[in-house]
């Protein structure tokens, strides 16, 4: 069996070889010629898996070691008989950690009062659930918005909130939806100028979901007009060529790394390998885990924090400062992301 693997997927070398011949290539540069004789493709979001890449290849199975799968042309894959999987929930705790630590920084600067804060969570799936747990632990009042889930789950629908309720009541709105282009509940530019103009409490907007859910130009205008008081943006339109004007305006701007803890990466790698093994009926045990941290570790040692603060293990300010200093290095900062552990 031949496997083509994105070379930025961590903890996979030495484990994928248990399945067959493993070839590691930069995800954004994988070509049709590269995959022509491959049986398996293990990827991240940087490889567009569509007809132009896969037609005429031997690929039978694609595993993306990520939650998101909008880089997969699932209609073409179905037509071509190529099975695929993503890794739902693999980095949910990591994203929740990102939201929690961002809010702690905002609170330290007096931008929010966590004891009197209403947070709207848009998208309450694997990631959104973990975010809600953190918010409730911090003492926030939480409103949940997820129309597709409300349609399927009567119990959830009883306490679900509408977007208009979030617009009226929230001090913070945090986005955790997938990118959905059509159907009954599309999310492309769900947060647009009309949505932002109707916000009543000048909330802080957090996007750690998919970049295209938020209209970046409209958000830039909203910051200028005061429709929102601030923003924390991890996922962007047109990555890696992001809106640099918007980056300069936001409180925190990071290079799509909210889910990039070592723990989340290890989960995604393990889940992807296990999916390949299941598909080909191979009994293989994979030993994939995040490395231990050195004693006294602090993610951002230049900023003093108490030993028990979540900011010791992760502080998004470090990542924001790096991106704002070198936005041209978006892909490098993401690809060479440092060790980070969950709390």
**Order of strands across the sheet that contains 21-25:** 21-25, 2-6, 40-43, 61-64, 83-85
Strand-pair category, 61-64 with 83-85: parallel
176 is catalytic: no
Shared domain check, 97 and 36: no
- Selecting among 130, 134, 176, 210, the annotated active-site residue is 210
CA atoms within 13 A on the CB side of 94: 25
Shared domain check, 102 and 79: no
Shared domain check, 51 and 101: no
256 is catalytic: yes
Shared domain check, 106 and 55: no
- What are phi and psi for residue 2, nearest 5 degrees? -110, 130
Structural domain span for residue 266: 2-86+262-279
- Selecting among 239, 321, 331, 342, the annotated active-site residue is 239
Question: What is the residue whose two structure tokens read 């990118």?
Answer: 179
| In a domain? residue 341 | no
Shared domain check, 195 and 51: no
CATH of the domain at 272: 3.40.50.720
What's the token pair of residue 37? 């004789």
Per-residue burial over 160-183, b if 16 or more Cβ lie within 10 Å, else e, is: bbebeebbbbbbbbbbbbbbbeee
Tens-digit pLDDT string for the chain (343 aa): 999 999 999 999 999 999 999 999 999 999 999 999 999 999 998 999 999 999 999 999 999 999 889 999 999 999 999 999 999 999 999 999 999 999 999 999 999 999 999 999 999 999 999 999 999 999 999 999 999 999 999 999 999 999 999 999 999 999 999 999 999 999 999 999 999 999 999 999 999 999 999 999 999 999 999 999 999 999 999 999 999 999 999 999 999 999 999 999 999 999 999 999 999 999 999 999 998 888 888 898 888 888 889 999 999 999 999 999 999 999 999 989 987 899 7
pLDDT (0 to 100) of residue 9: 95
The count of domains in the chain is: 2
| In a domain? residue 315 | no
Full-model pTM: 0.89
Shared domain check, 77 and 104: no
Shared domain check, 150 and 42: no
244 is catalytic: no
Shared domain check, 134 and 81: no
As a three-state string, the secondary structure of 105-148 is: HHHHCCCCCHHHCEEEEECCCHHHHHHHHHHHHCCCEEEEECHH
| In a domain? residue 220 | yes
- Selecting among 71, 256, 270, 334, the annotated active-site residue is 256
């Amino acid at each position: 069996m031949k496997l083509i693997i994105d070379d930025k997927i961590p903890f996979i070398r030495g484990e994928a070889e248990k399945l067959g011949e493993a070839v590691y290539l930069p995800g954004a540069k994988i070509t049709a010629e590269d995959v022509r004789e491959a049986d398996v493709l293990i990827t991240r979001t940087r490889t567009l898996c569509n007809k132009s890449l896969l037609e005429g290849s031997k690929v039978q199975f694609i595993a993306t070691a990520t939650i998101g799968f909008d880089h997969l042309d699932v209609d073409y894959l179905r037509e071509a008989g190529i099975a695929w999987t993503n890794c739902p929930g693999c980095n949910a705790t990591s994203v929740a950690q990102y939201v929690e630590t961002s809010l702690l920084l905002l609170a330290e600067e007096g931008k929010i009062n966590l004891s009197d804060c209403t947070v709207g969570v848009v998208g309450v799936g694997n990631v959104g659930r973990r975010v809600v747990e953190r918010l409730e632990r911090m003492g926030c009042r939480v409103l949940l918005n997820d129309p597709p889930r409300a349609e399927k789950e009567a119990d959830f629908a009883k306490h679900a909130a509408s977007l208009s309720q979030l617009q009226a009541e929230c001090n913070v709105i945090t986005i955790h939806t997938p990118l959905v282009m059509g159907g009954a509940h599309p999310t492309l530019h769900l947060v647009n100028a009309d949505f932002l103009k109707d916000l009543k409490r000048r909330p802080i907007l957090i996007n750690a979901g998919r970049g295209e859910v938020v209209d970046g130009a409209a958000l830039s205008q909203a910051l200028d007009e005061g429709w929102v008081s601030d923003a924390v943006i991890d996922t962007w339109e047109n990555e890696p060529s992001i809106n640099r004007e918007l980056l300069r305006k936001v409180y925190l701007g990071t290079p799509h790394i909210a889910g990039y803890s070592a723990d989340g990466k290890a989960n995604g790698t393990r889940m992807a390998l296990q999916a390949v093994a299941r598909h080909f009926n191979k009994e293989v045990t994979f030993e994939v885990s995040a490395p231990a941290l050195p004693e006294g570790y602090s993610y951002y040692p230049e900023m003093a924090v108490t030993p028990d603060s979540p900011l010791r293990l992760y502080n998004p300010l470090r990542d924001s400062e790096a991106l704002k200093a070198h936005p041209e290095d978006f892909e490098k900062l993401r690809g060479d992301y440092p060790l980070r552990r969950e709390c």
